[in-house]
Chains A and B, each alone.
Chain A
Amino acid sequence: MELEINGKSYPVESDADTPLLWVLRDELGLTGTKYGCGIAQCGACSVLLDGRVIRSCVTPVAGVAGRKITTIEGVEDDPAGRRVVAAWVAHQVPQCGYCQSGQVMAATSLLKQSPQPGDDEIAAVMTNLCRCGTYNAIHATVRDLVNGGPSPEAEKARAEAARASNRDGGAHA
């Protein structure tokens, strides 16, 4: 089986019914996507499938072969994703950060589907749980994005942080 993830093709050996989440994390080493519940309740495992957010913990890998998968590792290669990350940093959204990969993917999906979503649409997509209670920061950040944000300075700060992180191997490069 071949998977197309973040524009690259990966051969995959896991069984067809293995959830995409565990193929990403264990077989491919893409651990930015998180496990929180495994039953589509929390959203920590959110990735994009053909540009739309899905919960990878309940998505059998066989069903996504041949389709475009975007994970948090590739989110900054997407123009909408890059904006979301810049806004996330500018608004200082994360606390423990564990849910934030999923939150960023959900917000990216939202903006890709509908550049000017209303509050109801935002609420319908931004349903991921956050035990640290970053919900208000997330909402404010998404509103900023809907209103054309973040500022060019925020994008500059993101790009600088990305360079520093690649240099330092902040976690993995």
Chain B
Amino acid sequence: MNNPEEIATTREFFPSGELPVNLSRRRFLLASAGVSAGAFVLGLGLPLGKARASGASEAMAPGTRVPAFLEIRPDNRIRFYSPFNEGGQGVFTAMAQIVGEEMDADPASFIVDNAPTGHQFQVVNGRMRITGGSMSVRSSYMTMRRLGALARSMLLQAASKRLGVAVDKLDTEPGRVVHAASGKSLTYGELAPQALDLPVPAPDSVKLKNPAQFRWIGKPVKRVDAYAKSTGRAQYTIDIRVEGMLHAAVQHAPRLGMTVGTFRNEAQLKAMKGVHSVHRLPGAVAVVAERWWVARKAVDAAQVDWKEAAADASARVMPADFSTQAYREQLLRAKGEGETAESAGRPGKALDNAHTVVDATYWSQYLHHAQLEPPSTLARFHADGSLEVWVPNQAPDMFQADIAKKTGLDPDRITVHSPMLGGFFGRHFLYGPGVPYMQAIELARATGRPVKLIWSREQEFLRDPMRPMSVVRFRGGLDARGLPVALEAVAVTEGASEGVANKRRGKVDSSAVEGLAGKAYAIPNRRIAQLYMKTPATLAYWRSVGHSMNDFFYETFLDELADKGGQDPFELRLRLLEGNARLTHLLRELADLAGDWKRGPFTAPDGSRRARGVAMASPFGSQAAAMAEVSIENGQVRVHDVWQAIDPGSIVNPAIIEAQVASAVSLGLSETLLEETVYEHGMPVARNFDKYRILPPDRMPRVHVRIVESGAKMGGIGEPPLPATPPAVVNAVSHLIGRRIRSIPLSQHEFKT
């Protein structure tokens, strides 16, 4: 495999020569699309799934056209095209479990790839396709189970024909159809050529399994991608290579909105060894070369006089005097009560009549996604003008539509490939100038060659759209017993959704207030509001979106109220959740997991002074409760343990859930302890991991997980374990040091050992 051309094409054919058994269908589809199978095998063109997903499938409900999703090989291995992209959250494995369960095929026999674009794969509530919002499994669970059941039904029918016995005399065992009376059986691989050519039965004609009979759903099934990801075999967009490909690197304008003025050393760069060409792009210059390192070195040396944005620029423009410090002060100074997102009772009156009123202002920071794979795009135009794009994305059809709009190409002429993601956390949606694909497409067009553009980490941190920052003004009212009777929260911020859209949609951006609104505590008088304050910075979704900061604000303020009212924070939560069986159970499970609630401060066996904090969150359809134990070590916060009890209603894979909890806890800790994107003079100060610190291994605490299956409607898992973590930690720290901490990251505060 030392020949790059070979490597470039291995993904696009079956290297062992073991072709899938339903090849006749593949040939037919390709022929009908005007492409020979030979051309396909050489990777020149139309991917199979696209042909399959078009035409007749438009009429079929998404998630029902079995052959679009499945290929079964003679050795019983099953290739499954997933509507959801894998980026660490384990969804490829979950899909194999869910489909395999009803199909009666071992998930371990699945080879999973991301599906091409098309109507058939719009299975998020039967309407759309995104990998986000912790929605994949919960929004498609029944559809994917039915898909497996339809496949099983087709295999049974094919076996019925082959064996000449009625379908109802047949049954399945994993990977085979069996006829008990004769003892005969046929493997799925043997049946596939006939089965997958049968018409798909009506979706409601198949009966789904009784969950009590589940063999794989709910079990800690091994990930389908663990080996590939332990051996460097997993391929991400950054790794894709095609024949004749050139490499590109860019230098972005220092501030968004600026354009290329004088390019002083353009001729010099062109003359550099290995440079193919030099390009001016909107807001960037690019160098295309035979090797990325050459392109990068050259473009880093580019000397450009950037022009300020035109005064009437419609997109966001980053002004020269923007700083996060000044912007935060602006949020802190902002006057006004904002627009109400949630209200109950009469908060104004209740606050007036309260025995004690607590006022406090909290804030958060901008954050980078800092997914470890820097963004890249490979673009290739074909002789017929059609375009192929490999791009990290969480919504392939939306990318296809956007590319169509921007290039003027018909969407049918644009093939979007969606390789596995080297982490995403919300990074790979449509973020205008925050994503590289239009640059790559422009460079491929200009050079007439396939071009892979990689953003260096430094260029990524210059354009990464950020998790919003917010300032929240709280007022809480306590009655004479010290119990909260009123709570008002005004979030002064621009929300992620309105930031991404670059316009206000409805009244309040729910992503600006989620985690302040939607809390389960019985505080009778409430008002949660957003005071919109546009920022010139570009914004994005970031794992758990508004919850990533709002639950921190709310749950730490709740502790502040508890302290003021002389209440124990754990007991207070139980009290405010009286009658809520699901959440009181969850809290008790948490205490049980953590060996009971003990707030401290106490002296641990190693002599350190420690305290614990508790917090809860209700994100993305799931319920979470977290406890953290902390000490101060060498002037910084040490988190020893995080316990988390999580109730997603019902589950598919407990091992993956545990891994997701550990993952979300680490990201939540990272923002709590260390992370902050600081802008000065309109530019981010940190451009790489030397100054933008993310959680390193030596600051990772032990993580203990309890999964609670309440049987409630299925919730999400990728994001829900994050939001309760920051407040659990900060509540512990505040109690330990005897002073309320009202902002993150904690690295901005001083702690005495």
Contacts and interface: CB of A to CB of B under 8 A. Distances in A.
A134 B226 contact: no
B372 A34 contact: yes
B512 to A, nearest CB: 25
Contacts of B7: 29, 31, 172
Contact of B659 (A15, A18, A75, A95): A95
Interface residues of A, number: 71
Helix, strand, loop or mixed for chain B's interface?
loop
Contact of B694 (A19, A27, A104, A131): A131
Interface string B244-284: 00010000000000000000000000000100000000000
B690 interface: yes
Contacts of A76: 231
Nearest to B289: A26
Interface string B1-35: 11110010011011110100000000000000000
Interface in A134-173: 134-139, 158, 161-162, 164-173
B227 A89 contact: yes
Contacts of B111: 168, 170
A161 B228 CA distance: 9
B700 A72 contact: no
A62 interface: no
A133 B291 contact: no
A159 to B, nearest CB: 10
B4 A98 contact: no
Contacts of B590: none
A28 B291 CA distance: 11
B697 A85 contact: no
Contacts of A136: 662, 700, 702-703
A92 B688 contact: no
Interface centre among A75, A93, A171, by most B CB within 10 Å?
A171
Interface in A28-75: 28-29, 31-39, 41-42, 44, 71-73, 75
Contacts of B231: 32, 72-73, 75-76, 85, 101, 104, 162, 165
B473 interface: no
A65 B238 CA distance: 26
B228 A165 contact: yes
Contacts of A41: 688-690
Contact of A97 (B77, B228, B696, B703): B228
Given A37-B689, A132-B88, A94 B697 contact: no
Contacts of A135: 666, 695, 697, 700
A97 B291 contact: no
A26 B7 CA distance: 11
Contacts, number: 230
B688 A44 contact: no
A149 to B, nearest CB: 15
Interface string A13-24: 011001100100
B236 A98 contact: yes
B232 A101 contact: yes
Contacts of B229: 94, 96-97, 100
A130 interface: yes
A96 B423 contact: yes
B15 A169 contact: yes
Nearest to A101: B232
Contacts of A128: 697
Interface centre among B90, B111, B233, B234, by most A CB within 10 Å?
B233
Interface centre among A10, A19, A131, A136, by most B CB within 10 Å?
A131
A14 B293 contact: yes
Nearest to B79: A168
Contact of A38 (B422, B457, B695, B697): B457
A13 B739 CA distance: 61
Given A131-B371, A136-B700, A172 B235 contact: yes
Contact of A32 (B15, B232, B420): B232
Given A92-B226, A96-B88, A132-B663, A31 B372 contact: no
Contact of B11 (A36, A88, A126, A169): A169
A113 interface: no
Nearest to A87: B230
A85 B230 contact: yes
B226 A88 contact: yes
B696 to A, nearest CB: 6
Contacts of B702: 136
A8 B230 contact: no
B633 interface: no
B557 to A, nearest CB: 27
Contacts of B87: 96
A172 B8 CA distance: 9
Nearest to B452: A26
Interface centre among B16, B222, B229, B700, by most A CB within 10 Å?
B229
Contacts of A18: 291, 293
Nearest to A19: B293
Contact of A98 (B230, B422, B663, B696): B422
Nearest to B222: A92
B204 interface: no
A169 B16 contact: yes
A123 B698 contact: yes
B731 interface: no
Contacts of A73: 1, 231-232
A44 B374 CA distance: 11
B3 A171 contact: no
A127 interface: yes
A137 B662 contact: yes
B370 interface: yes
A133 B695 contact: yes
A99 interface: yes
A80 interface: no
Contacts of B238: 31, 34-35
A137 B689 CA distance: 23
A105 to B, nearest CB: 9
A133 B89 CA distance: 12
B667 A165 contact: no
Given A33-B232, A133-B695, A169-B14, A161 B227 contact: yes
Given A44-B372, A95-B89, A170 B228 contact: yes
Given A14-B293, A171-B233, A131 B690 contact: no
B665 A133 contact: yes
Contacts of B688: 37-39, 41
Nearest to B696: A129
B452 to A, nearest CB: 9
A170 B233 contact: yes
Contact of B662 (A38, A89, A134): A134
Interface centre among B1, B239, B241, B694, by most A CB within 10 Å?
B239
Contacts of A129: 372, 689, 694, 696-697
A26 B423 contact: no
A22 B292 contact: yes
Interface centre among A72, A76, A135, by most B CB within 10 Å?
A135
Contacts of A37: 457, 688-690
Nearest to B421: A96
Given A22-B292, A170-B233, A171-B235, A38 B11 contact: no
Contacts of A123: 697-698
**Which 7 pairs between the two chains have the least Cβ-Cβ distance?**
A32-B232, A133-B666, A97-B229, A98-B422, A96-B88, A72-B232, A95-B88
Given A94-B230, A101-B231, A104-B231, 17 more contacts: A31-B241, A34-B238, A36-B373, A36-B689, A37-B457, A37-B689, A41-B688, A73-B231, A89-B226, A93-B230, A100-B230, A133-B663, A134-B659, A161-B227, A162-B227, A165-B228, A172-B7
15 contacts: A29-B241, A36-B374, A38-B688, A95-B663, A96-B423, A97-B234, A97-B422, A104-B231, A123-B697, A133-B663, A133-B666, A133-B700, A135-B695, A165-B231, A170-B233
Interface of B: 1-4, 7, 10-11, 13-16, 18, 77, 86-90, 111, 222-223, 225-236, 238-239, 241, 247, 273, 291-293, 370-374, 420-425, 454, 456-457, 655, 659, 662-667, 688-690, 694-698, 700, 702-703
